[in-house]
Amino acid sequence: CALLVAVTLVAALLAATIRGATPLRTAVVGRCRERTAGASPDYCEDAWNAFAAAFVGKDPCNVPPESYDRLMEAAFQKRPCNTTLFWSKTKSLAHAFTEKKRCLLTLEDTLLGYMLDGLTWCGQNGSNGIFTECPCWSCCPDNPVRSFWIRASAAFAAGACGDAYAFMNGSISSPFSSESIFASTEVKNFNYSALNSLTIVLVTRDSSTDACDGASMKSLQRALDPALKYSCRNVPQARVESCISQPDVTCSNCW
Ligand code: AVW
Is the pLDDT at 62 greater than 90, yes or no?
Answer: yes
In the prediction, which pLDDT does 6 show?
64
> Is 88 a pocket residue for ligand 1 (Cβ < 6 Å)?
yes
- Per residue in 75-87, pLDDT (tens digit) is 999 999 999 999 9
CA atoms of 239 and 138, how far apart (whole Å): 34
Q: What is the separation, in whole angstroms, between the first and last Cα of the chain? A: 69
> Is 150 a pocket residue for ligand 1 (Cβ < 6 Å)?
no
CA 243: distance to chain centroid? 24
ipTM summary value: 0.92
Query: Largest Cα–Cα distance of the chain, in whole Å?
Result: 76
What confidence category does residue 194 fall into, taking pLDDT thresholds of 50, 70 and 90?
A: very high
- Per residue in 132-142, pLDDT (tens digit) is 999 999 999 99
What confidence category does residue 34 fall into, taking pLDDT thresholds of 50, 70 and 90?
A: very high
Nearest CA to ligand 1 atom 19: 153
Is the pLDDT at 2 greater than 70, yes or no?
Answer: no
In the prediction, which pLDDT does 10 show?
57
> Is 180 a pocket residue for ligand 1 (Cβ < 6 Å)?
yes
Measured N-to-C along each axis, helices 42-55 and 144-158 cross at an angle, to the nearest 10 degrees, of 120
Q: Is 161 annotated as catalytic?
A: yes
Q: Can you give the pTM of this predicted structure?
A: 0.91
Q: Is 81 annotated as catalytic?
A: yes
- Per residue in 11-28, pLDDT (tens digit) is 555 554 445 568 999 999
